[in-house]
A = this chain, B = another copy of it.
Amino acid sequence: MSAVSVATLNQRVDAANAEVFDRIVAADPVLVDIAPAGDVIPGMQDKMILHAGPPVDWEHMSGAQKGSCIALALFEGWAASADEAIELLSSGRISFEPNHHHDAVGPMAGTTSRSLPVYVVENATYGNRAYCRPAEWLQQFGAYSEASVAILRNWRDLQAPPLARGIRQAGGIKLKPLIAKALQMGDEIHNRPLAGSSLLAKALPPAMLQAGLSTEELKEGFTYLALNDFLFLPVSMASAKSAADPARNVDYSTVVTAMCRNGTEFGIRVSGLGDEWFTAPAGRPKGRLMPGFSEADIGGDMGDSTITETVGWGAFCLAGAPGILGQTGGTFEEALAYSRQMYEITVGVSPDYQIPALDFKGAPVGIDIRKVVETGIVPVLDSAMAHREPGYGNLGTGLVRPSIECFKAALAAFTKRYGTA
């Protein structure tokens, strides 16, 4: 396929990358619903668990992701005890598939099963939809205690329904202005979605009231909105996924369309390389640990939440979210430096999402694997820390840099397919 000259090929790549950039920034995400995964996620089946990261089987799954699956088996009633759950999960009777194979994403372990309600975001520009389960501090980190399962049950039975009614009553919530505003309010809408959560939380009550919910339903809904600082993370993730998906499968493009981790491996997809995953061993996030834990306890980096960095948010906007340094450590100068570095490996600058501390420069959008390999600069990623063993909750918040090896492997595959770019 590659009898063209290097100059011609590079022109084709640049044009393809410009097209991918245009598609990403043209996204117009709208929160349209919250609904059980089995009702809305394409291909979702019973006895299926979708998980964060590239494909992985039970045997190779990280401890935290295994714990999270145990909790889901209890939540779905597939098992009555953790032992029963482990037996089932290791029996081959549960299918494990990446969220990314189903237009979905999930924070941390990212595990999703059919009765778990997920946020539904539609990209109004292209009509595609993306899905994300809620964020919380126990089950998605690998805890499978009764308290952990109860969080999912409350979400399914008490909290998701009134929120969903409000969202539908409002005819959907346009997210582009909300995200643009949150990014000027100290959020990077990944590890720090406080402003996004607050803006969404204050937008919903009028519509929830209008939807004719009972006082008890309103109480559950309002209380969830009032107390949930991470309300917006799954909405942000589904927005990012809805923006990234139309940018997939553009021939000749060297732009990354997904980055994710399952606790064992970090993986990327590249637009010109279809659905192939390029993987490397998962890194270890660095940050401030909860008291009582040590570095040796930290499991491999985990989660689909790096879909936010994939479209230019998250740690790419760290310069605009210095409040996060209270959790991760580090200085404001370092945060500025991280953001500035990301312009060196990206295709363009967002016309909508601006960073005030960089004098309103747009966020860096579209990671070009050529630039990553050339410069040796890998993306900086927000992350949270989970234990290496099942059964624990959140251990803290941090940053991580992935291995450059998967970018190199992707570029090698690109060269094999298209020639030397």
- Residues on A facing B (Cβ under 8 Å): 181, 184-187, 194-195, 198-199, 201-203, 205-206, 209-210, 215, 218-219, 222-223, 225-226, 322-323, 325-326, 331-332, 356-360
Contact = CB atoms under 8 A, between A and B. Distances in A.
A372 to B, nearest CB: 28
- Indicate the member of A184, A186, A195, A209 with the most B CB atoms within 10 Å: A186
Given A209-B218, A219-B206, A219-B210, A356 B198 contact: no
A351 to B, nearest CB: 15
Contact of A323 (B206, B223, B226, B356): B356
A5 B34 CA distance: 74
Contacts of A209: 215, 218-219, 222
A223 B202 contact: no
Contacts of A187: 185
Interface of A is mostly: helix
A384 B198 CA distance: 25
Contacts of A185: 185-187, 194-195, 198, 323
Given A323-B356, A358-B332, A222 B195 contact: no
A46 to B, nearest CB: 36
Copies of this chain, whole number? 2
B202 A357 contact: no
A27 B256 CA distance: 51
A305 to B, nearest CB: 20
- Indicate the member of A187, A209, A360 with the most B CB atoms within 10 Å: A209
A339 to B, nearest CB: 12
A223 to B, nearest CB: 5
Given A184-B323, A194-B181, A323-B356, A225 B199 contact: no
10 contacts: A185-B186, A185-B187, A185-B323, A186-B195, A198-B198, A201-B202, A203-B226, A209-B219, A322-B356, A332-B356
Contact of A226 (B184, B202, B326, B358): B202
A198 B202 contact: yes
Nearest to A228: B202
B225 A202 contact: yes
B222 A184 contact: no
A226 B206 contact: yes
Nearest to A334: B359
Contacts of A359: 325, 331-332
Contacts of A332: 356-359
Nearest to A325: B356
A356 B323 CA distance: 5
Given A209-B218, A322-B356, A325-B360, 5 more contacts: A201-B201, A202-B202, A205-B226, A209-B219, A323-B356
A222 B194 contact: no
Contacts of A356: 186, 322-323, 325-326, 332
Contact of A222 (B199, B206, B215, B326): B206
A323 B201 CA distance: 21
Nearest to A225: B202
A56 to B, nearest CB: 37
B357 A322 contact: yes
Nearest to A322: B356
A202 B203 CA distance: 9
A181 B186 CA distance: 10
Given A222-B206, A222-B209, A326 B360 contact: yes
Contacts of A203: 226
A285 to B, nearest CB: 20
A222 B198 contact: no
Nearest to A360: B326
Contacts of A357: 322, 332, 357
Given A326-B360, A332-B357, A332-B358, A205 B225 contact: yes
Contacts of A215: 209
A183 to B, nearest CB: 9
